[in-house]
Structure 1
Amino acid sequence: MMNWKLSGSTALALIVLCSGAQAQVTPEEVWESWQALATGAGQELTVASAERNGETLEVTGVVLTFKDEQGGSFSANLDTLNFTDQGDGTVKVTMADSYPLTFTFPPGEESAPSSMALTVTQPGLSLIAGGSASETSYDYSAPSVTIKLDEVKDKDGKVGNVTADAVLTEVAGTYKVSAQGAATGLQTDFTAKSAAVNFADKNAETSTDVKVAFSMADLAGRSNGTLLGAEMMANMAAALNAGFTVDSGFTYGAMTFTADVTDTTGPTTFTGAATGGGVTLAMDKTRVNYGSTLTGAAIKMSGAQIPFPEVALNFAESAFNILMPASKSDTPQDFAFLTKLVDFTISDEVWGIFDPAGTLSREPATIILDAKGTGFWKQDIMDPNVKMDGVEAPGELTSLDLTQALVKAAGAEVAATGALTFDNTDLVTFQGMPAPTGTIDVTIKGVNKLIDNLIAIGILPEDQAMGARMMLGMFARPGAGPDELTSTLEFKDKGFFANGQRLQ
C-alpha cells in the first residue's frame, strides 16, 4: 500500500508541475521530453492527436495512467495541452482550468475505500519553460489551486457521504531540471500564501458525524535531488547505490485546526493552533536524515466523555530528528537522534484528579534527548529482499555521545551528559550488549522533595520510597546545592562503577 501511495503522489506531481519540466527550444521538444519523463516514471500516456497550429503545438485527448503490482491505479484526464513558442527561447504551456483525477485502491482493509474521484481546479495557472537541452528552468504561478473530492466508494461500491477539499492560494515556484545521463537532476522552490483543508463525513449506520477544518499560512518548500527511473526505484538500496538523492525541506507559519465529532455518546470538539513548524528529509547512499519541528502549540478538548469543561495542552516546542547510515558498510558512519518537548503544560483540572491540594509543582515540563555517535549496518536495510528478523543484529554500535539528556517535571530535574565507545567483540560481559568504555555524568535536583510529595498525595507507598532512596544512595552523592545529587557512572576494565565504587 505504501509503494502505491508513493507512486500516486509522484504521478500527481508530474501532472501538476512537470508538463513543461523538460522544455527545450521548440514546443515539439517540450512535448517529447514530457512524454519521456512520464513513461520513464512507469506511467502510460495516451493521446488523440498532436498537431502544429502556427506557433502552438496542440495536443488533445491527453490521458495519463499508472498501475501498480498491488492492483491500484491512477488516471488523470488532462484533455488538451498547448505548447506555444514565445519567440524568446521559452515555451508557454497551457492546460484546462480544471481536470479530473481518479484513484483505484488495491484490496485492503474492509473499511478502506475502493476508489476515489477528484477534480483539480487551477484558474490563471502560468507555466513557462525555457533553457537548454541539458538544463531547463521552469516557472509557475497560480492565484489558487483547489483539489475537490467528488466521490469516494467503499469495497461494495457504495458512495460515501464524504465531502473534502483543499485550497492553496498565491502559489508560485521554480523548477530546474538537468539531464545527468540516465538520471535527472531536479531543483525546486515553492511558496503559497495559505492552505486550507475541509473534511466532513456523516455515517448513518454508525451514527457518527465528523467535521474537520485545517489551515496553514506562509508555506515554503525546496528540494534538490537526482531522480532515477521507476524500475530502479523499486529497490531503494539499488537506487541509492545508482545515485538517487533527495534533500528537501518544508516550512509553514501559523496553523489552526478544529474537529467536531458527534457519535452516540454525544459531541466532542478539538481545537488547536501553532505558530509554525517544518519537516526536512535528506537521503543518499551514505545517510538518511528526517526531522520535524512544531512551535507554540495549544490544543483544547471538550466533550461529553471528558469529566470537566475542557482539557488544554500547551508546549513551546517539539522536535524530532534522526540521522543514520543508509547503506551497508564495513566502517563506522555517523548517526544522531534528537527528541524534545519543551515547556509542556496541562490543565489544572487534570492535575486535580490526583493532586487536588496542589502539592506537586505544576511548572512546565521538559524532556530532551540529544545524542550522536557512530555505527554501521552489516546489511542493506533499504533492500526489500533483506530479512531483518534474524538472531544476529543487523548492525554495530561503535560510539555514543550523550550531548544532553534532560527530564524536568513536578519540581524535579534529571540531567546527564557523557560519551561511550563499544567493543563489539565482547558480547558476554554485559549480557549481549557490546562492552562499553566511557563516562556519564548525572545531576539530580529536587528528587527528595518530589518523593515526599508523592508520599503525601498517596501515589508512592513508604516502602517503595525507601527503596528508591536507597538506590539513589548507591549511585549518587550530595551535590553543591540543597536537594541536589550527582553521580559519575563509569564503564572501564569490563566493569561498571558509580562514583568510583564498582557495582559490576
Structure 2
Amino acid sequence: MKSTRLASLGAIFSLMGTTALYADVTAEQVWESIQKTYADYGSVVTTEKSERSGDTLILSGLKVVTEQNQEELQMQARSEMSLDELRLRERGDGTVEITSAEKITMVTSSAVQAEQETVTTNMNMVMTQANSVAVASGSPEKIRYDITAPEMVLEGTMETSGTDQAPALTLSATMNGTSGYQEVAHGEMTEILSDMSMSALKFSMEVSDPTASENFTMSGQMADLRTEGTSRMNLVPGKADFLSMMAGGAEVKGYVGYGASKFVIEGTAAEGPVYMESAAESGRIDVLLNGETFDYGVKSGPSTFSLSTPDVPFPIAGAMGDSEFRLAAPVAKSEEAAPYTAKLTMKDLTVSEDIWGLFDPTGQLPHDPATLIIDLTGSLRPLVDFFSEEMATLEGPPAELQSLDVNKVQLTLLGADLSGKGALTFDNTMGVPMPLGSITLDLTGSNALMEKLVAMGMVPQDQTMFVNMMLGLYAKPAGDDAYTSTIEFNEGGEILANGQRIQ
C-alpha cells in the first residue's frame, strides 16, 4: 500500500513538473504575443532595433500605429504610441519580467468632413510611470501578465481647428497603487481576462474658449477602484470596427467598482462663476455585451450634490440614498421572444431648506425624502440584429413587445405615495401592440396634499373637486386618505378602471 501511494505521488509531481516546463515562456514568445494582440486590433508595431543582451531582449524605438478611414462617416483617424525602450528579461524560472522607459508618448489626430470644411482634432499625451513592472508567465498560447504600477501620471492637451470656436483642452490624471493581472489567450477567438485594482485616481480637465472668455475645470478623485472583465473576440486584422467584431461573435463582460468619489466642475461663463460638486460613498458599473444580449447597470451608494450659478441667489444642494439604473434586452433577430429588464431607483432624495423656501416659505408641505422606483420586466422579440447596418437604416420598430410585468412602480413625494403593480401581454396582430391584462394602483395622502396646496394658493379649489370626482369614479376607498384602482385591458381595446369603462 505504501509503495502504491509513493508511486501515485511520484506520478503527480512528475505531471506537475511536466506542466511547469511546458508552461515556460521566453522573451521572444512574449514579444510575439504582444505584437499579435496589437495586430489583431489593426495596429502596426515597429522597432528601430531589437537585440539580445544575456537574458534580456531589448527593443528600442518602439512605435504602435493605428489608422482608420471610415468613409461612411467621412472621418480619418491616426494614433501613434511610442517609447524609447522595452525590456523583456527572462528570470530563469520560466517567467519574463517586462519593464519600459518611464515616459510613453501618445499622439492622436482625426479629420472629419463637416459640410464645407474639415474639422481636425489633435491630442498629445505623455504617460510617466516609475517602477512599473509586468511579469509574464504561462504558455505561448496563453500568457498571464501580473502587473504592479506604484504611480502612473498622464498629461495631455487637445486642440481643434477648422471651426469658428476652437476651445482648447488640457487634462491630467494620477493613478496610484495599480496592481492585478491580465491574461491573453490566442486561438480561434482572442480571449482576454483581467482583474485589476487601484488605490486612488485623481484627475483634472480644463477647457478654455478664448473667443468667449469662458473656462471650465473639471476635477475628481476616486478611491479603491476595482475592475474585472473578460472579452472574447474573433478579430480580423484591419477590421477591428465595432460591427465587424460583433458579427464575429464578440463578447464583453465585466464591472468597475469604486469607493468614495468626488467630482467638481467650476469655471466662468458669460453670466458669471459656476460651481458644481457631487460626492458618493461607493458605486459600481456592470456591462454584458454580445451578439445575443445587452445588459448595462449602474449602482451608487448615498450621495450629495450642490450647484451655484449667477441665476440663483443661493446654492442648490441636496442628497440621495441608494440609486440604481439597469437596462437589459435581447439584441439578436429571432423568431422567439426573450426577457428584458428596465429598472430605475432613486431613494430618499432631499433638497436644502433654501430650495423649499422658494415655493413653501411657511413650511406647510411635508419635507420628507422623495423616492422613485420603476421596476419592469417582460419579453420582446427583436425584428432585426441591433448591431448591424440594417438597424441604422430601419424605418419601423426594431422589436416586438410581447409582455410587460410591472413588478413595482412607486413615487413618494410631498407626503403622498403612488404605487402600482401588474402584468400585461400584447397582441401584435393588429399592427399596433394591444395590451391585455391588469395593473393595480394604490394612492395614499392625496387629500391631505391637495388641502395644503389649496391653503397655499397654489391650486384652485375647483380643481380639487375635479380630482376628487375622478377618484370617486375610477378608484375605491381603501382606508383613511387611501384609494385603490385596478386598470383592466381587455380584448378589442377596452379599458376599465374598477369596472368603469375608460375606453
Specify if TM > 0.5.
yes
Quote the Cα distance in structure 1 between the aligned partners of 2:270 and 2:239: 50
Report deviation, 1:235.
5.2
2:452 is paired with a residue whose SS is: helix
Quote the Cα distance in structure 1 between the aligned partners of 2:41 and 2:246: 17
Residue aligning to 1:491: 489
5 Å matches for 1:193-204? 193-204=199-210
Residue aligning to 2:129: 122
Report deviation, 1:284.
1.9
1:354·1:457 contact (CA, 8 Å) conserved in 2? no
Q: Is the aligned partner of 1:256 residue 2:254?
A: no
The number of equivalent residue pairs is 471
5 Å matches for 1:280-359? 280-308=286-314, 310-359=315-364
Show CA shifts across 1:271-321 (max 9, x none).
22110111111012221000111221111122433122x211210122110
In 2 relative to 1, CA 209–285 (structure 1 residues): closer, same or farther, beyond 3 Å?
Answer: closer
2:235·2:245 contact (CA, 8 Å) conserved in 1? no
1:398 is paired with a residue whose SS is: strand
Q: Is the aligned partner of 1:143 residue 2:150?
A: yes
1:37 is paired with a residue whose SS is: helix
1:353 is paired with a residue whose SS is: helix
Letter in 2 for 1:31: W
Letter in 2 for 1:130: S
Report deviation, 1:159.
9.7
Report deviation, 1:147.
0.5
- Aligned partner (choices 356, 370, 376) of residue 371 of structure 1: 376
Residue aligning to 1:454: 453
Percent of aligned pairs with the same residue? 29
Report deviation, 1:226.
0.4
Residue aligning to 1:270: 276
Q: Is the aligned partner of 1:174 residue 2:181?
A: yes
Residue aligning to 2:471: 472
- Aligned partner (choices 426, 429, 452) of residue 430 of structure 2: 426
Letter in 2 for 1:91: V
Quote the Cα distance in structure 1 between the aligned partners of 2:184 and 2:329: 29
Residue aligning to 1:48: 48
Show CA shifts across 1:432-470 (max 9, x none).
3x2222221111001122222222223323343333222
1:477·1:487 contact (CA, 8 Å) conserved in 2? yes
Residue aligning to 2:480: 482
Residue aligning to 2:234: 228
Letter in 2 for 1:417: K
Residue aligning to 1:410: 414
Show CA shifts across 1:398-429 (max 9, x none).
111111100110111100011111111134xx
1:68 is paired with a residue whose SS is: strand
1:84·1:93 contact (CA, 8 Å) conserved in 2? yes
Letter in 1 for 2:90: D
Residue aligning to 1:36: 36
Quote the Cα distance in structure 1 between the aligned partners of 2:448 and 2:112: 57
2:291·2:387 contact (CA, 8 Å) conserved in 1? no
Stretch of structure 1 that moved more, 63-72 or 321-330: 63-72
Q: Is the aligned partner of 1:245 residue 2:256?
A: no
Stretch of structure 1 that moved more, 238-247 or 67-76: 238-247
Letter in 1 for 2:487: L
Q: Is the aligned partner of 1:104 residue 2:109?
A: yes
**Gaps spanning 5+ residues in structure 2: where?**
1-22, 70-74
Letter in 2 for 1:365: A
In 2 relative to 1, CA 493–270 (structure 1 residues): closer, same or farther, beyond 3 Å?
Answer: closer
Q: Is the aligned partner of 1:89 residue 2:88?
A: no
Report deviation, 1:138.
1.2
Letter in 1 for 2:122: S
Residue aligning to 2:6: none
1:349 is paired with a residue whose SS is: helix
In 2 relative to 1, CA 111–200 (structure 1 residues): closer, same or farther, beyond 3 Å?
Answer: farther
In 2 relative to 1, CA 440–138 (structure 1 residues): closer, same or farther, beyond 3 Å?
Answer: same
Greater Rg by CA = 2
Stretch of structure 1 that moved more, 73-82 or 401-410: 73-82
1:314 is paired with a residue whose SS is: strand
1:260·1:270 contact (CA, 8 Å) conserved in 2? yes
Report deviation, 1:78.
1.9
1:464 is paired with a residue whose SS is: helix
Report deviation, 1:154.
2.6
2:475·2:485 contact (CA, 8 Å) conserved in 1? yes
1:64·1:78 contact (CA, 8 Å) conserved in 2? no
Stretch of structure 1 that moved more, 56-65 or 185-194: 56-65
Letter in 2 for 1:474: L
1:229 is paired with a residue whose SS is: coil
Letter in 1 for 2:367: R
Show CA shifts across 1:76-117 (max 9, x none).
112221111111111111111111111113327799872111
Quote the Cα distance in structure 2 between the aligned partners of 1:358 and 1:55: 78
